[in-house]
Amino acid sequence: MSTDALAVLRGTRLRLAGRPWLTDAALGGGLSVLDALTLLAGRHSAPSPAGLLLWAAQTVPLLWRRRWPRAVLAAMTGLFTLFEILDPVPGKTPGPYFLIFGVYAVARYRPVRDGATATVLALAAATAVELATGRAEPPRPDSLNPDSVTAFAAYFAAAFLLGCGRRRIEDDARSLRDLNERLRAERETNARQAVVAERARIAGELHDVVAHHVSAIAVQARSTEDVLVTAPGPAAQDTGDIALEGVTRIAETADTALVEMRRILGLLSVGGEGEAAEPSLAHLDRLVQAAEAAGCRVTASVDGSALALAAALQASAYRVVREAITNVLKHAGPVGVRVAVGCDASALRVEVVNGPPGADHRPVPGSGRGLVGMRERVAAFGGTLETGPAPDGGWRVAATIPLEGLR
């Protein structure tokens, strides 16, 4: 068969699948017309109108085979039985073979138990009337004579199995369609969650990076303001007011920037924070330099074995130190800070301790998001975070991350 012919057949099949009533009309009405024409063409004398009508009517119920398959099979069986008993066309019998269309329908559109029961009852009624009228021979396992009960049973069984197979195929196709819909919905959900996670990651990085430097700006501006306010001499009278106004605006602008940044974080941070590649513990010198530039006195010690840990673990430890130093700049100002990163066979320990703030220090407003972020980063590795006042009036941040299974 040519490619064009196959394409035509495929297109016809798709059109029929989209309009099932066409198939039912072809089976019901088409077979009825074909039966009548076959009966007329095969006889020298025309049968009676009643006989012709009863002959053709046996396939008419197939028009409703999808909606009421059991009723269709029962109607077809009844019409066949009536035709056999009345014998309106002497010497001519269709046999129960038209019933295989009803058997196929009941097997395809009804549960197996209902279909099997209807099929057995139809077969019993058809074979009983065939045997009673003498038109069929008794069942013989070694014979498939078309007019034998054995052949009837074989054809009915084949039609039933075909119907069950088609029903199973349709059930599987329906299940696949449902699964595809669920997968599509899951893909959309995952895509939305990915967007939320990315927004949260951006929020976390914005807080960790920008807040650190803006806090340093605010601390430096306030330190300069304090110096200018207490600076002696006539020069302070002439230029100090201008400089004082400038640095005051710097501090106010930095505070405003922090407030606006936290407002943006409230819009972005919808879910948990994501993890991304970050500097390792080998880059703690950047944080130390930034803190010292803001006036802090920093001492830092890093255990060499900590530098051999996994990159993600080092990134989280780095972020804890960065957030702790940022909080020092915001809430304590230029004070002494001690950073210690230790590592042994059981755990990685990070500790940041700062001294008490000066009496004249004005803390930068905070949102508490930094502590939450540190706690979540540490908890992601099964660790714990301790925060609280130090004995000398300062503040202590201590994170402990177990290393079992993380190296």
CATH code: domain of residue 238: 3.30.565.10
Domain match, 203 and 123 both:
no
Domain boundary among 71, 106, 136: 136
Interval 178-225: pLDDT, tens: 888 888 877 777 777 776 676 676 666 666 666 666 776 777 676 666
66 and 211 fall within a common domain: no
CB of 314 within 8 A of CB of 348? Answer: no
* 178 lies in some domain: no
Q: Among 156-160, 180-184, 383-387, where is mean pLDDT lowest?
A: 180-184
Domain boundary among 96, 118, 136: 136
* pLDDT at residue 59, as a whole number: 76
Range of the structural domain that residue 15 is part of: 3-136
Chain centroid to CA 71: 43
Judge whether 179 lies within some domain: no
Is residue 7 situated within a structural domain?
yes
- pTM value is 0.44
Would you state the pLDDT for residue 385? 92
Pick the last residue of a domain from 120, 136, 152. Answer: 136
Three-class DSSP labels, the chain: CCHHHHHHHHHHHHHHHHCHHHHHHHHHHHHHHHHHHHHHHCCCCCCCHHHHHHHHHCCHHHHHCCCCHHHHHHHHHHHHHHHHHHCCCCCCCCHHHHHHHHHHHHHHHCCHHHHHHHHHHHHHHHHHHHHHCCCCECCCCCCCCCCEHHHHHHHHHHHHHHHHHHHHHHHHHHHHHHHHHHHHHHHHHHHHHHHHHHHHHHHHHHHHHHHHHHHHHHHHHHHHHHHHHHCCCHHHHHHHHHHHHHHHHHHHHHHHHHHHHHHHHHHHCCCCCCCCCCCCHHHHHHHHHHHHHCCCEEEEEECHHHHHCCHHHHHHHHHHHHHHHHHHHHHCCCCEEEEEEEECCCEEEEEEEECCCCCCCCCCCCCCHHHHHHHHHHHCCCCEEEEEECCCCCEEEEEEEECCCCC
Same-domain pairing of 15 and 96: yes
306 and 197 in a common domain: yes
Q: Environment class of residue 258 by beta-carbon count within 10 Å: exposed (0-12), middle (13-18) or buried (19+)?
A: buried
Question: What pLDDT, on the 0 to 100 scale, is given for residue 276?
Answer: 41
State the average pLDDT over residues 132-136.
73
Domain assignment present for residue 145? The answer is no
Whether residue 194 is found in the same domain as residue 130: no
Same-domain pairing of 244 and 366: yes
Is 285 part of a structural domain of the chain?
A: yes
**Are residue 257 and residue 355 in the same domain, yes or no?**
yes
Question: 30: how many CB neighbours lie within 10 A of its CB?
Answer: 14
pLDDT score at 349: 94
- 201 and 329 share one domain: yes
Residues 76 and 211 in one domain: no
243 and 390 belong to one structural domain: yes
**Residue 231 counted as domain residue:** yes
Asked whether residue 160 is domain-assigned, the answer is: no
> In the numeric block, which tokens belong to residue 335?
């004070």
Q: Please indicate, yes or no, if residue 339 is contained in any of the structural domains.
A: yes
Label residue 393 by pLDDT band (50, 70, 90): confident
**Tally of structural domains, the chain:** 2
Q: Who's near 397: CB < 8 A, 6+ residues apart?
A: 320, 324, 327, 350, 351, 352, 353, 374, 385, 386, 387
Q: Predicted confidence band at 333 (pLDDT cuts at 50, 70, 90)?
A: confident
DSSP bridge partners of 400: 349, 384
Q: Are residues 108 and 207 in the same domain?
A: no
Q: What is the pLDDT of residue 206?
A: 64
Domain match, 121 and 238 both: no
Average pLDDT of the chain is 75
- The yes-or-no verdict on residue 273 having pLDDT over 50 is no
CA distance 223 to 334: 8
Q: Which of 103-107, 206-210, 307-311, 336-340 shows the lowest mean pLDDT across its residues?
A: 206-210
Q: What local confidence, expressed as pLDDT, does residue 398 receive?
A: 94
